């Protein structure tokens, strides 16, 4: 699906669920209305890294969105805000991440290093939950790594580096590896706080995730200050300040910078 003119936005979505795919396509069509865009669906992926590289090969836009199919962006100003952040010199933008990392998960360096805010709507639960991990006084914070639920890259980023589909050949750690690799090359990675987003999942941290965590540590051992083949400790628990809401409209109304900043400060005080 694409506009007829050369697009300024390319949205790449990996999905095997027709219903989820139709819903997320409709969402991006609304968010990007009035802009030139294309939507690239990958429905037979061997891994997310492999799928996203195929999407990059087809993409014509200057801004590339790598999106899960189970999110809902609640801000009609999404495109304008992302364009402003990219214009400030950021090369890769996400919604949660960390300014330092020591292991194969983005919150590994502890609560003081975490950034972001994400709403969650796991299936079967009666309420939505807003998780605030850490907020700065600005709308976007520099980071070393970001979570992959939705990432937006400037064309200069994907021209510099593609995803490592050989090492990360499943559906985990492609995001940390890509963002950390760009950071190590001197490109600017950031976490936005000014765009409300819902994720209809809580993630999966089973055997495949553990294997790819080890692969991440082996690949980046020198930068992490680790011994590549040393046994990995139990992961640190992800810390967040959590608030519950009955519906998306209520969560959206609460999502102001002042409220998020207060929640982030409260979360960090709890960890002292």
- Tens-level pLDDT at each residue, the chain (272 residues): 444 578 999 999 999 999 999 999 999 999 999 999 999 999 999 999 999 999 999 999 999 999 999 999 999 999 999 999 999 999 999 999 999 999 999 999 999 999 999 999 988 888 999 999 999 888 999 999 999 999 999 999 999 999 999 999 999 999 999 999 999 999 999 999 999 999 998 777 889 999 999 999 999 999 999 999 899 999 999 999 999 999 999 999 999 999 999 998 888 776 65
Write out the two tokens for 226.
Answer: 């680790």
Please state the pTM of the whole predicted model. Answer: 0.95
How would you class 40 by CB atoms within 10 Å of its CB: exposed for 0-12, middle for 13-18, buried for 19 or more?
A: buried
Domain range annotation of the chain: 9-270
Q: Which two tokens stand for residue 262?
A: 């207060």
CATH 3.40.50.2000 fits 9-270, yes or no: no
DSSP 14: E
Rounded to whole angstroms, the Cα distance separating 22 from 112 reads: 38
């Amino acid at each position: 699906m694409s506009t007829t003119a050369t697009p300024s936005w390319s949205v790449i979505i990996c999905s095997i669920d027709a219903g989820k795919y139709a819903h997320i396509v409709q969402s991006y069509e609304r968010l990007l209305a009035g802009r030139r865009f294309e939507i690239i669906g990958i429905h037979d992926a061997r891994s997310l890294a492999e799928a996203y590289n195929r999407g990059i090969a087809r993409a014509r836009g200057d801004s590339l969105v790598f999106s899960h199919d189970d999110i809902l962006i609640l801000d009609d100003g999404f495109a304008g805000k992302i364009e402003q952040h990219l214009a400030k010199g950021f090369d890769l933008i996400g919604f949660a991440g960390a300014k330092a990392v020591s292991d194969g998960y983005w919150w590994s360096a502890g609560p003081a290093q975490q950034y972001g805010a994400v709403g969650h709507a796991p299936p079967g639960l009666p309420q939505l939950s807003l998780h605030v991990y850490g907020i700065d006084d600005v709308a976007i914070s520099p980071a070393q790594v970001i979570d992959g639920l939705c990432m937006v890259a400037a064309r200069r980023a994907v021209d510099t580096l593609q995803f490592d589909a050989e090492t990360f050949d499943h559906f985990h750690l492609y995001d940390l590896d890509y963002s950390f690799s760009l950071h190590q090359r001197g490109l600017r990675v950031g976490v936005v706080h000014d765009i409300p987003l819902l994720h209809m999942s809580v993630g999966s941290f089973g055997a495949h995730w553990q294997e790819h965590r080890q692969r991440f540590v082996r690949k980046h051992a020198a930068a992490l200050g680790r011994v590549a083949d040393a046994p990995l400790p139990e992961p640190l628990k992800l810390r967040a300040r959590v608030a519950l809401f009955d519906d998306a409209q209520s969560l959206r109304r609460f999502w102001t910078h002042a409220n998020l900043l207060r929640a982030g400060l409260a979360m960090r005080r709890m960890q002292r």
